[in-house]
Amino acid sequence: MLTIDFTGKVALVTGGAGGISSGIGRRFGDAGAKVYLADINDAKLKTIVEEMRKDGIDAVASHMDVTNEAEVKGVIDSIVANEGALDILCCASGVIYAKPYMDTTEAELLRCLSVNLVGTNNCCQAALRHMIPKRQGKIITIGSATSRMGSATLSHYSMSKFGIVGLTQSIALAVAAHNINVNGICPGFVNTEMMDIIFAENSRTSGVPVKEIAERYEQTNIPLKRFQTPQDIGEAACFLASDLAHNITGQCLNVCGAMRLN
């Protein structure tokens, strides 16, 4: 039986107050890693970390705005100073706006790009300054099913997530010579607050109740006919961060019930 053991490893998950992020952090912790969860939502982050600690996970809450390059560097430098290394970075911070394209604003576009794409880049660069000298490290980015195909009502979000795929591939090529693996995950519909936003917008524009919208998506958009869970994304992240994936880099793995096949 194959097992993944992160005992002695240190992991940082950004966007730690979110559903996918906390699912990833919990899975890393279950495998034995010391997990730092970072977010700007301090109250929610504190609750999540306390719940993890009750379950025996060594978790730490860190305030971090991924759009603030200096703050990102400070948090990551502090983690390395305290722990001796940062072994795993998972960039899962994200914002979304669900509305028809012609109703979107420049401010929303810039916010999506700043958090989802530039924020990911800030974290990767700060972590790599420590990983490269040690010639080891695993980085995981979080894309989306909309990284593979655009969306009429998620245009800015989709743009940022397309960028995540290009950024992931580019960083992987840049650091392959340093023995560092960089991969991404493209989740489908995951039971989180972000999915609620999408369904609410669809309900608003169609007049169909949210519950019915959700049922339609599950039964017609997903060949496996089930939504993904934060644990599903956590399992994929755990694999990509493990030695089982030591020869996989520059890839973006769809975890979407076959919504996307490319």
* 114 falls within a domain: yes
More confident residue, 59 or 193: 59
* 224 falls within a domain: no
* 215 falls within a domain: no
Question: Average pLDDT, stretch 55-75?
Answer: 98
| The pLDDT value given to residue 102 | 95
* 261 falls within a domain: no
Q: What is the pLDDT of residues 8-41, one digit of tens each?
A: 999 999 999 999 999 999 999 999 999 999 999 9
Which residues span the domain enclosing 17?
10-189+230-255
Q: What is the pLDDT of residues 177-233, one digit of tens each?
A: 999 999 999 999 898 888 788 888 777 878 888 888 788 888 888 999 999 999 999
Q: What is the pLDDT of residues 151-168, one digit of tens each?
A: 999 999 999 999 999 999
* 163 falls within a domain: yes
End-to-end CA distance of the chain: 30
* 202 falls within a domain: no
Q: Total domain count for the chain?
A: 1
Q: What is the pLDDT of residues 76-113, one digit of tens each?
A: 999 999 999 999 999 999 999 999 999 999 999 999 99
* 212 falls within a domain: no
CATH number, position 182? 3.40.50.720
| The pLDDT value given to residue 1 | 59
Q: With beta carbons less than 8 A apart as the criterion, state whether 29 and 231 touch.
A: no
Instruction: Please give the mean pLDDT across all residues of the chain.
Output: 94
Distance CA 240, CA 226 (A): 23
* 134 falls within a domain: yes
Give the up-direction half-sphere exposure of residue 19: CA atoms within 13 A in the CB hemisphere. 15
Using DSSP's 3-state secondary structure scheme, residue 211 falls into helix
Q: With beta carbons less than 8 A apart as the criterion, state whether 41 and 105 touch.
A: no
| Phi, then psi, of 39 in degrees rounded to 5 | -165, 170
Active site (catalytic) residues: 157
